[in-house]
Amino acid sequence: MTKRIVAFRRLKESQLDQLRHEFHVDYFERLDSADDPAFRHALRQAHGLVGAGLRITPEMLDDAPRLEAIASISVGYDNYPIDELNRRGILLCNTPDVLTETTADTGFLLIMATARRAIELAEFIKRGDWQESIGDAQFGSDVHGKTLGMIGMGRIGAAIARRGALGFGMKVLYSNASPKPALDAELGAEHRDMDALLQESDFVCVTVPLTAETERLIGQREFARMKSSAIFVNIARGKVVDESALIDALNQGHIHAAGLDVFEQEPLPDDSPLPHMANVVALPHIGSATHETRTAMAQRAVDNILLALKGERPISLVNESAWNG
């Protein structure tokens, strides 16, 4: 019997061909809602899913009795109910490694753009306000030589830290579940508890995954501990931060500015003040969004699902217990 796949993110023709060579593919180039009747119908027969940006609920799994594997086109897997997947023996695969450097570029872009006020000052020119030499009112803050505090030191955190230490001569501090002696040696990085990191850092950059433990990890208490000159950068997930506490901290001058690629609600609701604040650089979740990297991520997901549905171990497996169980 030919297995069936539901693909719910845009894939290249060559990637679709690879899948169609092995499986029957129901392809939704753009899926606006998980309630789309054609999608729900396809789900009922699916052995595999490939896609991203869709919250998969236990109820959806109830409607997908044949499902064996999901290949997410993302490194983050907070959209998936891991315990339910484990219970049902459904493999979950993600796309680490191929997006590390691109996402770190985005992190550093936010550090630079926020410190040097690049977006705000580009708008200043567009408005025709550049009528005389700029002065104090347009000055920003240095990045080189400052202290970069990384909350989370996984692959992406380490890639940002490397840019800071080796490219910009920054002192790197990090708070992480465990110290990373190899990075300490490579970058002169120093492990700190969270409070010490918040107090000492000029830039505080969040890269932890969203889990039950990290939800709202950064709130009023944490912003109160940062320097008033601190710049806060989030490229992890919006829900790691209490967004209203962030808005208060920015408005009340507890911190200087923020660079944000992720938000509690995405797309940002129309009434969010964040994109309109002069001391905020807000981006529409572009972390890994380059042509090269999104193609590589989709290819990793295709490779993962091909292996998983043939009973072979996928390249990047999230839930070992479903594989072992």
Give the Å distances, CA to CA, from 289 to 160, 294, 295: 17, 6, 10
304 binds ligand DGY, rule: CB under 6 A: no
| One of 64, 287, 301, 319 touching ligand DGY (CB under 6 A) | 287
Rounded CA separation 102/312 (Å):
29
- Two structure tokens written together for 100: 């590390």
Q: Which residue is nearest to ligand DGY (CB)?
A: 76
Which amino acid type is present at position 91? L
Each residue 103-132 as x (binds ligand DGY by CB under 6 A) or -, in order, gives ------------------------------
- Two structure tokens written together for 79: 């959209």
Q: State the nearest-atom distance from the C-beta of 110 to ligand DGY, in Å.
A: 14
93 binds ligand DGY, rule: CB under 6 A: no
259 binds ligand DGY, rule: CB under 6 A: no
C-alpha dihedral sign at 241, 80, 294, 323: positive
Among residues 197, 111, 198, 226, the alpha carbon closest in space to that of 160 is found at 111
Q: State the nearest-atom distance from the C-beta of 133 to ligand DGY, in Å.
A: 40
Q: Which is the catalytic residue, given 47, 117, 237, 256?
A: 237
Strand partners, 87: none
Helix (H, G, I), strand (E, B), or coil: what is residue 26? strand
76 binds ligand DGY, rule: CB under 6 A: yes
Number of residues that bind ligand DGY (CB under 6 A): 6
- With a CB cutoff of 8 Å and minimum separation 6, the contacts of 192 are 149, 173, 174, 175, 200
Nearer to ligand DGY, 230 or 262 (CB): 262
Q: State the nearest-atom distance from the C-beta of 173 to ligand DGY, in Å.
A: 24
288 binds ligand DGY, rule: CB under 6 A: yes
**Catalytic-residue membership of 285:** yes
Q: State the nearest-atom distance from the C-beta of 72 to ligand DGY, in Å.
A: 8
Rounded CA separation 161/166 (Å):
8
- With a CB cutoff of 8 Å and minimum separation 6, the contacts of 165 are 148, 171, 172, 187, 188, 189
Nearer to ligand DGY, 64 or 236 (CB): 236
- Two structure tokens written together for 273: 């003040």
**Catalytic-residue membership of 266:** yes
Q: Which segment (7-15, 17-25, 59-67, 74-82) binds ligand DGY by CB under 6 A?
A: 74-82
Nearer to ligand DGY, 56 or 75 (CB): 75
Q: Given the rule CB under 6 A, which residues bind ligand DGY? A: 74-76, 99, 287-288
